[in-house]
Amino acid sequence: MSKYETAPYKVLEKEGPFEIRQYDAFYTAAVEEDTLEGSSGFSQIFDYISGNNEDQTKISMTTPVFNEMKEKKITTEFVMPSKYAEDAPPKPSSTRVKIRRNEPRLSASVTFSGSSTEKKIREYEKELMDWIHKKGLSPSGPFRLARYNPPFIPPLFRRNEILIDVSSKK
């Protein structure tokens, strides 16, 4: 069990490493980046939750750290604690950090351990897409990488997920 609060969801269906989840609404603090390599976005958001915001408020660390994977851009996003479920968290001091409201959504996920290399991410993305189609669902939007552990945790013990929002086929 993690000592950190996590993005709120209910598991509706589980099959091995795959799940269908109903996520509640939540806010994230996000930075847009060009690559998963490096830690520029992570550092800027960490600075934001450490008090570099309009209220100079420290915000608790949560899990997971999301990376939304679009065609040319990637976001690094920290989930905001549930006390910000209704009202947005403080305005960031940095113009690179954006507050995003994530509306309730239905997502399919696959969980894996180890490092989250580009090759491994693509393999699990394909497995998840195959499972989604087998379930009669349609993907709706970009996929996200969710990382639950700090980098000092040995790869064997790391929890990672690939998530894709889904909708029923009509």
Q: What is the pLDDT of residues 115-146, one digit of tens each?
A: 888 899 999 999 999 999 999 999 998 899 99
113 pLDDT above the threshold of 80: yes
- 51, 68, 101 - which closes a domain: 101
- 57, 72, 101 - which closes a domain: 101
The runs of H, that is alpha helices, within 103-160 are 118-134
pLDDT at 151: 76
Domain of residue 117: give its range: 5-23+103-168
pLDDT tens figures, 39-84: 668 889 999 999 999 999 999 999 999 998 877 788 999 999 999 9
37 pLDDT above the threshold of 70: no
Quickly list DSSP for 76-114: EEEEPPGGGSSSPPPPBSSTT-EEEEE--EEEEEEEEES
Q: How far apart are CA 52 and CA 109, in angstroms?
A: 33
Residues 162, 95 share a domain: no
35 pLDDT above the threshold of 80: no
Residues 145, 163 share a domain: yes
Enclosing H/E stretch for 46: helix 40-49
Residue (of 39, 5, 3, 9) closest to 107 by Cα position: 9
Grade residue 89 by pLDDT with cuts at 50, 70 and 90: very high
Question: Which residues neighbour 39 within 8 Å (Cβ) at sequence distance 6 or greater?
Answer: none
The dihedral over CA atoms of 22, 30, 112, 129, expressed in degrees to the nearest 10, equals 60
Domain total for the chain? Answer: 2
pLDDT at 38: 58
CATH of the domain at 46: 3.20.80.10
Residues 58, 81 share a domain: yes
pLDDT at 70: 78
